[in-house]
Structure 1
Amino acid sequence: MAWQQLHLQCEKKDVDLAEALLLEAGALSIVLEDAGDQPLFEPLPGESPLWDEVVLTGIFDATTETGSRQAVESLSHEIAAQVQASRIWLSALEDKDWEREWMSHYHPIECANNLWIVPEWLSPPDPDAVNIIMDPGLAFGTGYHATTRLCLDWLTEQDLTDKVVIDYGCGSGILGIAALLLGARQVYAVDIDPQAVLATNQNAARNKVDGQLKAFLPDEFQDFCQQNDVLPVEVIVANILARPLISLAPYFATLIAPQGRIVLAGLIEAQTEQVSAAYEPYFKLDPKHAFSAQEDQHWQRLSGIFTQ
């Protein structure tokens, strides 16, 4: 099956109208993309932030009357008369095996100290390495993002033997699973997104560590801690965002044992001073900030020892 694509670039305020017109005309799906280079950091569940300039792409079935090139070209003129689009253009899209197409973009990743992240549909390049078998599903954490890699590298540098670890903001569960494969005894994974809890449980089963990992929503985790003697723990990993990391500093201090270790990630360079200030009453932070350059951003990692 062939497809016709109608692309238009407009301001954020015109997106709803453009979407409605495309759907009314028979678009089977609509994709929204950044028209410039404006970062949008990971939103909370239910939030749908948009870029200031957006490219919308409506996809039409070219084998139908409404999806023919002539019909889509005519539609582009109609939309141009109603939406203040800075540009409109058409393109053809070849049919592919879309169920498997996204898989082609993933490949095994070698991290520090012989740790590998391997998509579950591929074979490990080194069967004798520590291999994390992953299918991220809809959750954050494939290992391709710099902040995830920074945390994984930190974990490989720790002695996790028989340690209890909290992975707060677990996403796909990759950090908690890595901790278990590196010798941790138990992981408690927490995320505000139910999809992340599901993905974490599924990936734990893939790696045969589901008996050592429990995943929770935040309220569920607090209830679990009140009913079970599981605190304090020796290690916390939290790869989220600066704002929640700052607000969580006092809470994390209640979860961790004296001399316990913490690693924080998800920060850009300009945020490290503010996050450090929030944690200094509780933790002795490593003054050396690990960082990774990615798309002209410096993603930072803070680590420290609980001292209170």
Structure 2
Amino acid sequence: MSGGHFLKHLACTLSSRSLTSTTLSRPLTRPFSSRFFTSRKPTELSRPNSPLAAANISTSSSSSETPSAQPFALPFQSVNIRCQRHVSDMLQEALLCFGASSTSIDEDENHEDSDEICITSIFPEGEDVNTCISRAADSISLKEMPSYKVTMGEQYDWIKKTQESFHPVEITEGLWIVPEWKTPPDSQATNIILNPGLAFGTGEHPTTKLCILLLHGLIKGGEQFLDYGTGSGILAIAAVKFGAAFSVGIDIDPQAITSARQNATLNNIGPEQMQLHLVPSETCGIWTDPCGGVEERSSSEVETISQTDKYDVLIANILLNPLLDLADQIVSYAKPGGVIGLSGILSEQLPYIIERYSQFLEGISTTEMDGWACVHGRKKQNVAGN
């Protein structure tokens, strides 16, 4: 989806808490806060610290439309998992939390008239697949362990297959998301060029589309925009393309920041128009630099980066639980009267978001696409604590 890894590391540490309190109090919520990411595509998800993500794929749109990857032959376990169609999205996310490097669903091989679907999941060599699947199934309250089959393969083959699955996506007339290695179908259109190899956010997931369409209607020119959990940077880039004066993306995953920075460069967007900040999880005061360095930073530095009450438009395209748990923080970034968009939620989960944010927002509206939803409204002028 818009997809990201926001607060992923914090979320994984919170999974046990969420399994107890959150599941009981909010039965429709995700049973774990585990993956605070943005631009997600349930049919093709990858864990940011996986060998797949770390491969740092090198591609070129000018030389060929065939994806070219550096030879990368680390062995991996390919696991085909059968499950009920209606739990496939949540199971994919759970698998990523409990050890899978990536998951995918080949829609061509999974007929819509069948109640069962096959998830192909990639695990590092040596990972205890049975334990991972068991924990993932337990986390979303499956009554039975899904059946699965394990085969061995080479990492390079998976990377190539993953790249080949991405194609240009037309969000609306004159607006395209184009993989770096593809030629834009319409050179005169607004084309957002993307290499999603390191982070979530391909433009194909309904929540990403909903957020981009929301931005397309909101940005009139000169706005300050915040992408809360930037992932691949797709929303921050889109805001600049639409006319925002300045765009900021934040994430706690260094590979997301690296990916977003690379994607900004692909779109000829410099730091004077778009900035990206790595923020610490609440469980650790250490900041990990995308280039591999680690340093301590004080809480005062976080405040200079966040600057509350600053942004005209803010979008958080993450997951239900973090949207609920972090509502006060999310709202604090927006100016009074600023627009806040919230996505990454299923349509059936809308009542929880509306109930939680009605104290902060006025004029709340919702849009839906393929069972997913986006909520937006304007921050009230006198919000308690702001």
Same topology, TM > 0.5: yes
- Amino acid corresponding to residue 324 of structure 2 in structure 1: I
Q: Equivalent residue for 1:299?
A: 372
Q: Residues 99 and 192 (structure 1 numbering): CA distance in 2 closer, same or farther, change over 3 Å?
A: closer
Shift of 1:105: 1.5
Aligned equivalent of 2:79, options 29, 32, 39: 32
Indicate yes or no: 2:146 matched with 1:53: yes
2:340 is paired with a residue whose SS is strand
Query: Are the counterparts in 1 of residues 223 and 313 from structure 2 also a CA contact under 8 Å?
Result: yes
Shift of 1:59: 2.3
The number of equivalent residue pairs is 243
Query: Are the counterparts in 1 of residues 277 and 305 from structure 2 also a CA contact under 8 Å?
Result: no
Q: Residues 292 and 172 (structure 1 numbering): CA distance in 2 closer, same or farther, change over 3 Å?
A: same
Q: Equivalent residue for 1:138?
A: 198
Q: Equivalent residue for 1:121?
A: 181
Q: Equivalent residue for 1:268?
A: 346
Q: Give distance in 2, aligned partners of 1:229 and 1:111.
A: 30
Aligned equivalent of 1:213, options 271, 274, 280: 274
Q: Give distance in 2, aligned partners of 1:58 and 1:44.
A: 17
Q: Residues 223 and 197 (structure 1 numbering): CA distance in 2 closer, same or farther, change over 3 Å?
A: farther
- Amino acid corresponding to residue 146 of structure 2 in structure 1: E
Query: Are the counterparts in 2 of residues 204 and 210 from structure 1 also a CA contact under 8 Å?
Result: yes
Indicate yes or no: 2:362 matched with 1:284: yes
Residue-by-residue CA offset, 1:40-74 (whole Å, 9 max, x unaligned): 2646986446343142322269xxxxxxxxxxxxx
Query: Are the counterparts in 2 of residues 113 and 156 from structure 1 also a CA contact under 8 Å?
Result: no
Residue-by-residue CA offset, 1:143-202 (whole Å, 9 max, x unaligned): 111111110111111134111111011111101100011111111111232221111111
1:286 is paired with a residue whose SS is strand
Q: Residues 224 and 109 (structure 1 numbering): CA distance in 2 closer, same or farther, change over 3 Å?
A: farther
Q: Give distance in 1, aligned partners of 2:311 and 2:232.
A: 21
Q: Give distance in 1, aligned partners of 2:95 and 2:320.
A: 13
Range with greater deviation from structure 2 (277-286 or 227-236): 227-236
Residue-by-residue CA offset, 1:204-246 (whole Å, 9 max, x unaligned): 1111113222222333797556336954110101110010011
Residue-by-residue CA offset, 1:91-117 (whole Å, 9 max, x unaligned): xxxxx9665433322211111252110
Q: Give distance in 1, aligned partners of 2:152 and 2:247.
A: 43
Q: Give distance in 2, aligned partners of 1:150 and 1:236.
A: 14
Detail structure 1 runs of 4+ shifted over 4 Å in the superposition. Answer: 43-47, 96-99, 220-225, 228-231
Shift of 1:271: 1.2
Q: Give distance in 1, aligned partners of 2:340 and 2:306.
A: 21
Q: Residues 235 and 45 (structure 1 numbering): CA distance in 2 closer, same or farther, change over 3 Å?
A: farther
Query: Are the counterparts in 2 of residues 160 and 179 from structure 1 also a CA contact under 8 Å?
Result: no
Query: Are the counterparts in 2 of residues 187 and 214 from structure 1 also a CA contact under 8 Å?
Result: yes
- Unmatched 5+ stretches in structure 2: 1-73, 100-134, 138-144, 281-286, 288-296
Residue-by-residue CA offset, 1:241-297 (whole Å, 9 max, x unaligned): 01001122111222111110011111112211111111111111424x21111xxxx
Query: Are the counterparts in 2 of residues 45 and 192 from structure 1 also a CA contact under 8 Å?
Result: no
1:179 is paired with a residue whose SS is helix
Q: Equivalent residue for 2:59?
A: none
Query: Are the counterparts in 2 of residues 276 and 285 from structure 1 also a CA contact under 8 Å?
Result: no
Q: Residues 45 and 210 (structure 1 numbering): CA distance in 2 closer, same or farther, change over 3 Å?
A: farther
Q: Give distance in 2, aligned partners of 1:46 and 1:123.
A: 35
1:154 is paired with a residue whose SS is helix
- Amino acid corresponding to residue 185 of structure 2 in structure 1: P
Q: Give distance in 1, aligned partners of 2:80 and 2:98.
A: 16
2:167 is paired with a residue whose SS is coil
Q: Give distance in 2, aligned partners of 1:228 and 1:193.
A: 16
- Output aligned runs, 1:121-200, within 5 Å: 121-200=181-260
Q: Residues 112 and 100 (structure 1 numbering): CA distance in 2 closer, same or farther, change over 3 Å?
A: same
Query: Are the counterparts in 1 of residues 307 and 333 from structure 2 also a CA contact under 8 Å?
Result: no
Q: Equivalent residue for 1:19?
A: none
- Unmatched 5+ stretches in structure 1: 1-26, 62-95
Q: Equivalent residue for 2:126?
A: none
Q: Give distance in 1, aligned partners of 2:303 and 2:377.
A: 26
Q: Give distance in 2, aligned partners of 1:158 and 1:165.
A: 11
User: Over the residues paired in the alignment, what is the CA RMSD in angstroms?
Assistant: 2.7
Q: Give distance in 1, aligned partners of 2:306 and 2:162.
A: 43
Range with greater deviation from structure 2 (251-260 or 212-221): 212-221
Query: Are the counterparts in 1 of residues 216 and 242 from structure 2 also a CA contact under 8 Å?
Result: yes
* Larger Cα-atom Rg: 1
Indicate yes or no: 2:317 matched with 1:239: yes
| Greater RCO structure (CA 8 Å; 6+ sep) | 2
